[in-house]
């Protein structure tokens, strides 16, 4: 077997091993999981998530997911906790300890300290009979048969299982809180994701020029309007109501059909009933319309009155596409 074939084979085996283990997690969800979700949901405090080694890295990701979906969470490294960081835990906080074995030295020192402070503790572990499993108030069983590592040593399948269990926890809490896309946008104002959730058509079209002509505007003036406003399009209006649109493509098609266009007006070459969008609509909706109809511009309306143009380039520039 050549090297490339061997790499592909090993990659597929890794994915197969991990996917089988993740599928098995569904059979491990029980009343402890539901009770843990309700505990966090009804808590007046935060969620403190701790772990050591690779489990600590998974803990930071779960913390990030919870924070971004409406559940305040803080990461506390298990080693640092027993050297001064225990003060991070407040009276009403719920603590989640993550450990595959549940028997690491740091966990064995940390767990009794948490219990002495009377904080409720949830374990995400692959060993229900471990020290951590026996001490926890609730267990989220993340058992896996084996690691994807050929030596069954490097945390691979086990950390993936921990991560999936954390995602399941976050999604359940998200649903209980009625966390909406508007809430999500509040926590994700930056980047393309945030913009998809809060950016409106008006935010884009208001920065553009506003090309428009009347029904009887001659073609020369139409060309000048499109060229000057640099959007490749102009609206055709009748008392500020949109009645048509003329694009660069319409002008090119006109030139292939007539030799003398000096007597033509906007009404003669426009496309009637153009695709429009309300200025209060989400920018992502404008993107969907453009993709659906294979167009690069949309005319924008406000209460039935022409309000401007939103261009495909606007969406690209803002990272919506």
Torsion of CA 15, 17, 20, 23, to 10 degrees: -70
Q: Are 243 and 276 in contact (CB under 8 A)?
A: no
Strand 47-51 to strand 94-99: parallel, antiparallel, or no bridges (unpaired)?
parallel
- 171 alpha carbon, distance to own chain's centre: 13
Please choose, from the candidates 40, 35, 44, the residue with its C-alpha nearest in 3D space to the C-alpha of residue 170. 40
State how far the Cα of 15 lies from the Cα of 109, in Å rounded to an integer. Answer: 35
State how far the Cα of 251 lies from the Cα of 224, in Å rounded to an integer. Answer: 12
Which residues sit opposite 51 in a β-bridge?
Answer: 77, 98
What CA–CA distances, in Å, run from 292 to 86, 234, 295, 309? Answer: 55, 21, 8, 18
DSSP string across 228-268: HHTSSEEEEEETTEEEEEEEHHHHHHHHHH-S--TT-BHHH
Q: Is 27 annotated as a binding residue?
A: no
- The conformation of residue 124, written as its DSSP 8-state character, comes to E
- The conformation of residue 39, written as its DSSP 8-state character, comes to H
Q: Are 98 and 77 in contact (CB under 8 A)?
A: no
Q: Tell me the three state secondary structure of residue 136.
A: coil
Q: Are 125 and 132 in contact (CB under 8 A)?
A: yes
Task: Please give the annotated binding residues for Zn(2+), written as ranges.
Answer: 77
Task: Please give the annotated binding residues, written as ranges.
Answer: 77
């Amino acid at each position: 077997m050549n090297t490339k074939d061997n790499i592909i084979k090993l990659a597929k085996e890794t994915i197969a091993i991990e996917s089988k283990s993740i599928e098995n997690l569904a059979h491990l969800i029980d009343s402890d999981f539901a009770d843990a979700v309700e505990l966090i949901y009804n808590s007046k405090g935060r969620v403190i998530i701790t772990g050591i080694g690779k489990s600590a890295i998974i803990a930071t990701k779960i913390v990030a997911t919870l924070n971004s979906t409406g559940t305040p969470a803080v990461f506390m490294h298990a080693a640092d906790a027993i050297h001064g960081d225990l003060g991070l835990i407040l009276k009403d906080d719920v603590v989640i300890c993550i450990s595959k074995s549940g028997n690491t030295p740091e966990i064995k020192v940390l767990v009794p300290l948490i219990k002495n402070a009377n904080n409720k503790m949830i374990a995400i572990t692959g060993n229900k009979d471990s020290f951590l499993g026996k001490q926890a108030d609730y267990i989220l069983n993340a058992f896996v048969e084996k690691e994807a590592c050929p030596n069954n040593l490097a945390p691979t399948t086990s950390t993936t299982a921990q991560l999936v269990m954390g995602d399941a926890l976050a999604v359940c809490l998200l649903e209980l809180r009625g966390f909406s896309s508007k809430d999500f946008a509040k926590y994700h104002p930056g980047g393309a994701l945030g913009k998809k959730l809060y950016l409106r058509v008006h935010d884009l079209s208001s920065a553009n020029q506003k090309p428009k002509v009347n029904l009887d505007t001659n073609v020369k003036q139409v060309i000048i309007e499109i060229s000057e406003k640099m959007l490749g399009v102009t609206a055709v209006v009748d008392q500020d109501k949109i009645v048509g649109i003329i694009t660069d493509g319409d002008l090119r098609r006109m030139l292939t059909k007539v030799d003398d266009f000096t007597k033509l007006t906007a009404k003669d070459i426009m496309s009637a009933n153009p695709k429009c969008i309300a200025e209060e609509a989400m920018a992502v909706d404008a993107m969907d319309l453009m993709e659906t109809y294979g167009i690069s511009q949309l005319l924008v309306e406000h209460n039935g009155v022409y309000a401007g143009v939103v261009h495909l380039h606007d969406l690209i520039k803002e990272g919506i596409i």
